[in-house]
Amino acid sequence: MRIGEKNTIPGGKNVILLGIVSFLNDLSSEMIIPILPVFIKLLGGGGIEIGLIAGLRDSVSSLLNVISGYLSDKTGKRKVFVCSGYLTSAIFKFLLSFSSKWQHVLLFTSLERVGKGIRTSPRDSILSESMPREKGKGFGIHRAFDEAGAILGTISAFILFWFFDIGLSSIIFIAAIISFSSILPLYLVREKKRKPIDTTLRINLRRLSRELRVFILISGIFALANFSYMFFILRVEESLTGKFAIAVPILLYALFKTFKVMFSIPFGIISDRIGRKRIIILGYALFSFTCLGFAYLNSLLAFLILFSVYGIADAIIDGNQRAYVSDLSKERVRSTALGTFHTVNGIMTLPSSVIAGFLWNISHEMTFIYGGIMSLIAVLFLLTIFRRENR
């Protein structure tokens, strides 16, 4: 090895390997996700319970992001957090398959998300450091692997349910076994050697740029609008009967994931060229359109269109928000900055889904009107800041 090579990272290789890990993990997760709302209902959960489970599982992971991000920066290590995070998720997916009450689902899905909270910020830091000049492309490639696994997982769940008549608990058990296999490619991932830093957790609040703090605040407002996918699934499920009430939402969820995969890389590349803000504004606006469509439309054709637009919006928002946070953060505290972003968004997802569940019990339409209005508010804030900067 030549002098200086020890601190280099095989960028493309790392992105591909982490993509394979996410492919397998999401294949597992997305076998569970489209059937989870119905699984909760079968175990006695209603609108508020579903909102609580959905909000808590997302909040738990995001609240841990800033801690794992801080520890990753402080110790100078990334990979150990990524490995332990994926292993934790696999264990609690396995336990989830034995749930017999909705309270069990609440516990095991929350603990499964602990794994996501441990791994996400350090993993995103490895991705960012692997392709420093093409972050949008790097995150887009990773998300494409991620969502390709999601599509295959969703289709697998449909096949197991429709053609083999396998029960929901058994599908979750099979998914858990696949999740354990996702850990293997991580051993080939190389991280940049870095020195530990002597700092405190408060660094995430004091050293972030003003522009980054403002964006994290606006993304938090959008997170209040971006309630759980479970309510989109339930909207379709309650309009159908019998076996179709489970099968059709699974297929529509697969359509959502397909569109997300198709547009993740293109919009990542576009954001590298024209700027993140313009792209994120478009994503927020499309999500608002999706919510308002679900509020007022109730046909299979409408659901086909809306799930497609939902996928495009998610493709735009997901990777580009994280890439924008990476753009605005210093390298030595990038994992902490990403953790702060995920944590703020996580804090907002709990009230978002609980509010959605409360409104669901009053009127299904009110849930989606709420999401549409809140996302439009986030659009207006971003537009205002964008115009001020142009002046």
CB burial string 155-170: b at 16+ within 10 A, e below: bbbbebbeeeeeebbe
Ramachandran angles phi, psi of 101, nearest 5°: -140, 155
Distance CA 380, CA 343 (A): 23
**Tokens 């099968």 appear where?**
247
CB burial string 270-287: b at 16+ within 10 A, e below: bbbeeebbebbbbbbbbb
Q: Tokens at residue 11, please? A: 């960028």
DSSP 223-235: HHH---THHHHHH
Q: What is the pLDDT of residue 202?
A: 54
For residue 304, what are the contacts with CB-CB under 8 A and spacing of at least 6? 252, 255
Q: What is the pLDDT of residue 203?
A: 47
User: 165's torsion region: left (phi>0), alpha (psi -120 to 50) or beta?
Assistant: left
**Tokens 């990777």 appear where?**
319
Per DSSP, which regions of 10-111 are E strands?
none
Sign of CA dihedral 160, 164, 170, 174: negative
- Give me the domains of the chain, ranges plus CATH numbers: 9-184+203-390 (1.20.1250.20)
Roughly how many angstroms between the first and final C-alpha of the chain, as a whole number?
51
Q: What is the pLDDT of residue 86?
A: 94
Distance CA 47, CA 355 (A): 10
Distance CA 204, CA 102 (A): 36
Q: Tokens at residue 191, please? A: 């991280």
Ramachandran angles phi, psi of 196, nearest 5°: -60, 150
Beta carbons of 347 and 59 less than 8 angstroms apart = yes
> Alpha-carbon dihedral of residues 61, 66, 68, 70, nearest 10 degrees?
180
For residue 122, what are the contacts with CB-CB under 8 A and spacing of at least 6? 68, 69, 72, 77, 78, 79, 81, 82, 85, 335
User: 273's torsion region: left (phi>0), alpha (psi -120 to 50) or beta?
Assistant: alpha
Radius of gyration (C-alpha) of the chain in whole angstroms? 20
Q: How far is CA 255 from CA 151, 249, 267, 305, 313, in A?
A: 8, 10, 18, 10, 13
Q: Tokens at residue 319, please? A: 């990777």
Q: What is the pLDDT of residue 194?
A: 66
- Is-above-0.95 flag for pTM? no
Distance CA 291, CA 314 (A): 13
Per DSSP, which regions of the chain are E strands?
none
Q: What is the pLDDT of residue 249?
A: 94
DSSP 175-201: HHHHHHHTTGGGGG------------T
Average pLDDT per 10 consecutive residues for the chain, totaling 391 residues: 42 82 93 94 90 87 75 84 93 96 95 89 81 70 81 93 94 96 88 66 62 88 93 92 90 91 85 86 96 94 96 90 82 72 83 94 94 95 78 60
